Amino acid sequence: MKENNYDYSVVKGFAYSAVFWLIVGLVVGLWLAAEMFYPALNLTPWLAFGRLRVVHTNGLAFGFGFAGIFACSYYMLQRLTRTSLAFPGLARFHLYLFNVAIALAALSLFAGMNTSKEYAELEWPLDVVVVIMWVIFAVNVFATLIKRKEKQMYISLWYIIAMTVTVAVLYIVNNLEIPVNLFKSYSAYAGANDANVQWWYGHNAVGFVFTVPILAMFYYFYPKSTNLPIYSHRLSIISFWSLVFAYLWTGAHHLMLTPLPEWIQTVAIAFSIFLIAPSWGSVVNGYYTIRGRWDLMRTNYLTKFFIVGITFYGLQTVQGPTQGLRTLTAFFHYTDWVVGHVHMGTMGWVTMIISASLYYIIPKISGRELYSVRLANLHFWLIFIGQLVYTVTMWIAGIQQGAMWKATNPDGSLTYNFLETVTALYPYWYIRFVGGVIYFVGILVFTYNLIMTGRSGKESVPEPQPQTA
Amino acid sequence: MNIEAKPITFAILATVVILIGTIITLFIPMFLPSTQPVSDYIKPYTAIELEGRDIYIREGCNNCHTQTVRPLRTEVIRYGEYSKPEEFAYDRPFLWGSRRTGPDLNRVGGKYPDSWHYKHMNDPRSMFPKSNMPAYGWLAKRKLDTSYSFKKVSILGYGYSEDEVNRQIQEYRKKVTSPTYNAKAIRDQITPPELRNELTEMDAIVAYLQKLGRDVKMLKKKEAVKVAEAADRPGALKNPFEGKADAIKEGKEIFQNNCSACHGDDGKGGIGPDLTDNEWKYGSSDEAIFNSVAKGRPGGMPPWEGSLGKERIWKVIAYIRTLGKR
Ligand code: HEM
Ligand code: HEM
């Protein structure tokens, strides 16, 4: 099989789209973070916090996250099947449609066309575009798999398949709505039911966007960059099936102590706790893979991205189930603690793995060496430190906020009125902003490094094609 | 069977596996009465309230405000009765939220007078200098679009006829443009002259905010009246902190943090009445004033007993008494 039979143009297109939307999303994130302590920044209706926050979450989850996922999926799919894409033209159309859809999404959200359901805010015409786009992607995935030259499907392909089918189910069910006109619709579900559907979707967006495809990347690019085989195939099988089984039961841990029927909440907690096992299956697999070769953390610049990324994934999947427990959710729910949780996952796990995967891919497909390993190291440290500053600050803020909401005087009355619990957080919000800036600079370094690699990196010695992918 | 070599079988199996939890925790509950209870005391939104709700959604207020009071002691003290499933029967989409940068709003209806909301929405920092809420004064500069109102309530199945919708719209317009509307001064101040006789987006969002939790409160009030009447023995209560310097100092601070937004920094009134003029609408005894503060009064004075407690209420009264003497 010759290298040039693979279609890498879409991989490259999606990789650069990912970086582009990442930067857009982060600028919006920094603006938001500043609005929290400097409300004068709510300059216009479309810059007001309520609209902007949605641009941030959608821009990063869908713009950055999905572009990265598509880039890596199209790459892995071809390498792991040793086949070129079944429909390269369709994939290129996918790339254009994707970027147009994300741009329209951002504009419509700025304009306030918004269903209010978290991570499903897009109004119905854009939902239709998203579904069409997903079908286009799925057609390529399955058609390529069917014509594959490599009989066995590697772990990463299982995760890609799971994402492909599940995201379709999630997206369609949660976005069922009745249109009023082109720009406005109402949910097909009401009240507690709507909440249940939404958070089944919301949690599994985390599961099948921020976990499953990222694990696909981890299982492929990590052994590739270290040249070490994954420790246990059997562990991979067990964790895969138990992960995809258990995730769907847990959405209600976002709705603890709300009017949702209690048994749904209890089932969700039980399965959330269970989820620690398959999540840590991958963590353990990752750690054991590198056993005896920890020197790679120093000598191979990509290794630390993967190891630190999987470590944050491990922490995230312990923190998540724990904060869902009734007594803890009573304290932490609605506070900045959860914002800390979110950003450990997205900045610490998702970005680490996507960055490393793109560092692996771009030199490979452009036939050049990485422009600068030193810049890659700098990028690593900046996003690592920026993320820690951000998340640790938010956890402390969350503890303080929870404690202040709960504080009572000896006579049973409240110690703080609501505003006092807000202004007490300003110092944390300043620090979070600083953490965000550090992280953002790291991402600028990353972007520069990738662009320079494509442009002026040294030509790399073509390596002999391995027998399997 | 080696399913790792069979992509289609693999995909079908994966779909079945993800559907198990989905069916049990999602599809089955959809048809259970416990996720969609209905009660007569919960009324659907009026056309105007619904327009206000759509503005709430458009502006993404749910990104900072929750709408579920959890059954926790301090939360019930802070916001009021905890939320019940039947309250949300008409909510498509639900708006419970996931982050509480601002306070919960599920019980805000009737807590403050309309004038409070106009002033607050127009410029939150004019009332709470350290608030981080965006200012929404521009909503008062936009005429409310009611061209889809009937279609909206029909889609949602609220059962109003087109005439009824038009009546609701006209009635609400009459209310807010009337010379006797209790928020007239502030409404006129923030609404441009050409819109003063029209409905604006601001009017609609205020209407919506006033609806939140109203039905539950009405129900509770009916139950509560009898109990309260029995407990009110006139003339029995005296302020233990009257004239005590420490308490007055503390009372001043409490006043500034909680009362001044409505009664003014110096107590000379604003949204709420002047407290320095020695005129007391509900009586000038310690007990009468205590009851006004503790239990609230109809025109928009919220009850403070839960959040401040008796002791701090007496201290703030001790402070208020010093204002009148000047
Ligand atoms: C410079 C870095 C970043 C900054 C300054 C930032 C800032 C913020 C702020 C201020 C919020 C709102 C918090 C609140 O309402 O209290 C937020 C929410 C959120 N951000 Fe970021 N963010 C950053 C990076 C990211 C990244 C990389 C992702 C995803 C890939 C992300 C995903 C999210 C999500 C999903 C939420 C919603 C959280 C929730 O609903 O609890 N953010 N971010
Ligand atoms: C075992 C796995 C996990 C469990 C059981 C879990 C649990 C939870 C719980 C209980 C909450 C809600 C907290 C609250 O509102 O009080 C939450 C929020 C969240 N988690 Fe996780 N988590 C897990 C893994 C992850 C991962 C890997 C990510 C990746 C980024 C992530 C991202 C988020 C986001 C974005 C939210 C905020 C949702 C919102 O309110 O908008 N979680 N998680």
Which residue in this structure is represented by tokens 């521009």? B138
Ligand 1: which of A23, A27, A31, A32 to mutate, most ligand atoms within 8 Å of CB?
A: A32
pLDDT by residue (tens digit) across A346-374?
999 999 999 999 999 999 999 899 999 99
CA distance B153 to B142: 22
Q: What is the pLDDT of residue B287?
A: 86
Please list every residue in chain B whose beta carbon sits closer than 8 Å to the beta carbon of residue A247.
Answer: 18, 21
ipTM of the complex: 0.95
Same domain? For B93 and B213 the reply is yes
For the CA of A342, the closest atom of ligand 1 is 38
**What number does the ligand 2 atom closest to the CA of A256 have?**
16
Residue B131 and residue B215 in one domain: yes
- Chain A CB contacts of B124 under 8 Å are 39
A50–B84 C-beta distance less than 8 A: no
Lookup: tokens for A30: 């920094």
Range scoring the smallest mean pLDDT among A188-197, A454-463, B20-29, B187-196: A454-463
Dihedral of CA A67/A73/A79/A81: which sign? negative
B320 domain-assigned: yes
CA separation for the pair A89, A9 (Å, rounded):
10
Q: Does A249 sit within 8 Å of B21, measured CB to CB?
A: yes
Residues B67 and B215 in one domain: yes
Domain count, chain B: 3
Instruction: Give the pLDDT of residue A469.
Output: 42
With a 6 Å cutoff on the Cβ, whether A434 touches ligand 1 is no
Residue numbers of the domain that contains A353: 3-453
What's the mean pLDDT when you consider all of chain B? 90
Same domain, B64 and B211: yes
Same domain, B124 and B203: yes
Say yes or no: B189 and B320 in one domain: no
Comparing A4-8, A40-44, A243-247, A402-406, which segment has the lowest mean pLDDT?
A: A4-8
Pocket test residue of A116, A342, A394, A445 for ligand 1, highest count of atoms within 8 A of CB: A342
**Could you tell me if residue B112 is inside a domain?**
yes
Distance CA B125, CA A14 (A): 44
Contact A217, A193 (CB under 8 A): no
CB B270 within 8 A of CB B112: no
Query: Ligand 1: which residue has its CA nearest to atom 7?
Result: A29
pLDDT band at A466 (very low <50, low <70, confident <90, very high): very low
| Residue pointed to by tokens 């089932």 | A267
Instruction: Work out which ligand 1 atom sits closest to the CA atom of A347.
Output: 27
CATH of the domain at A422: 1.20.210.10
Confidence (pLDDT) at B227: 45
Domain containing B18 equals 3-31
Sequence-distant (6+) residues with CB within 8 A of A367 are A459, A460, A462
User: Which has the closest alpha carbon to B167: B42, B46, B41?
Assistant: B46
A461 falls within a domain: no
A-chain residues within 8 Å CB-CB of B32? 261
pLDDT at B225 over 50: yes
Q: Average pLDDT of B295-320?
A: 87
CATH number at residue B304: 1.10.760.10
CB neighbour list of residue A333: distance below 8 Å, 6 or more residues apart: A256, A257, B70
Q: Which of A120, A413, A429 is nearest to B101 (CA)?
A: A429
Cβ-Cβ contacts under 8 Å, B71 against chain A: 257
User: How far apart (Å, rounded) are the C-alpha atoms in residues A390 and B266?
Assistant: 41
* Ligand 1 geometric centre to CA of B225 (Å): 47
Judged by CB atoms closer than 8 Å, whether chains meet at B306 and A54 is answered as: no
Residue A464 counted as domain residue: no
Residues B319 and A186: their CA atoms lie apart, in Å, by 51
| Residue at B231 is within a domain | no
Mean pLDDT of A312-338: 96
Both tokens of A336, joined, read 């900045």
pLDDT above 90: residue B299: no
Is B19 in Cβ contact with A169 (below 8 Å)?
yes
Q: Is the pLDDT of residue A334 over 90?
A: yes
**Domain contains A59:** yes
Residue A463 lies in a domain: no
* pLDDT, average across residues B52-74: 97
Separation CA A117–CA B57 (nearest Å): 10
Q: B133, B241, B144: which is closest to A49 by C-alpha? A: B133
The count of other CB atoms within 10 Å of the CB of residue A156 is: 25
My answer on whether B26 and B52 are in the same domain is no
Degrees, nearest 5: CA angle B225-B229-B234: 150
Q: Predicted confidence band at A113 (pLDDT cuts at 50, 70, 90)?
A: very high
Q: Residue B1 has what pLDDT?
A: 60
Tell me the two tokens of residue B92: 């498509």
In B, which residues are within 8 Å of A153 by CB distance? 4-5, 7, 10
A3 has a pLDDT exceeding 60: no
One DSSP character per residue, A392-434 reads: HHHHHHHHHHHHHHH-B-TTS-BSS-HHHHHHTTHHHHHHHHH
Ligand 2 pocket, CB under 6 A: A 118, 202, 206, 210-211, 250, 253-254, 272, 275, 279, 316-317, 320-321, 323-324, 329, 332-333, 338, 341-342, 345-346, 350; B 98
Please name every residue paired with A187 in a beta bridge, in sequence order, or none if there are none. A177
**Which residue's C-alpha comes closest to atom 39 of ligand 2?**
B98
Assess whether the C-beta atom of A440 lies below 6 angstroms from ligand 1.
yes
Q: Report the Cα A176 to chain-centroid distance in Å.
A: 24
Judgement on whether residues B256 and B138 belong to the same structural domain of the protein: no
Residues B25 and B59 placed together within one structural domain of the fold: no
Q: B179 to chain A nearest CA, in Å? A: 30
Mean pLDDT of A426-454: 97
Angle value at C-alpha B213, between B208 and B214, nearest 5 degrees: 80
Q: How would residue B246 be classed by pLDDT, with cut points 50, 70 and 90?
A: confident
Domain count along chain A = 1
Task: Decide if A469 is inside a domain.
Answer: no
Rounded to whole angstroms, how far apart are CA atoms A24 and A16? Answer: 13
| Chain A with chain B: Cβ pairs closer than 8 A | 269
Whether B173 is covered by a domain: the verdict is yes
The residue that leads in pLDDT, A464 or A130, is A130
Specify if A466 maps to a domain.
no
Q: Please indicate whether, in this complex, the C-beta atoms of A422 and B152 are within 8 angstroms of each other.
A: no
Average pLDDT of span B223-239: 57
- The yes-or-no verdict on residue B144 having pLDDT over 60 is yes
From the list A114, A333, A423, the residue facing B60 with the nearest CB is A114
Q: CA–CA separation, A214 vs A160, rounded Å?
A: 9
State the smallest CA–CA distance between residue A106 and chain B in angstroms: 14
Residue with CA at minimum distance from ligand 2 atom 40: B98
With respect to residue B229, please indicate whether it lies within any of the assigned structural domains. Answer: no
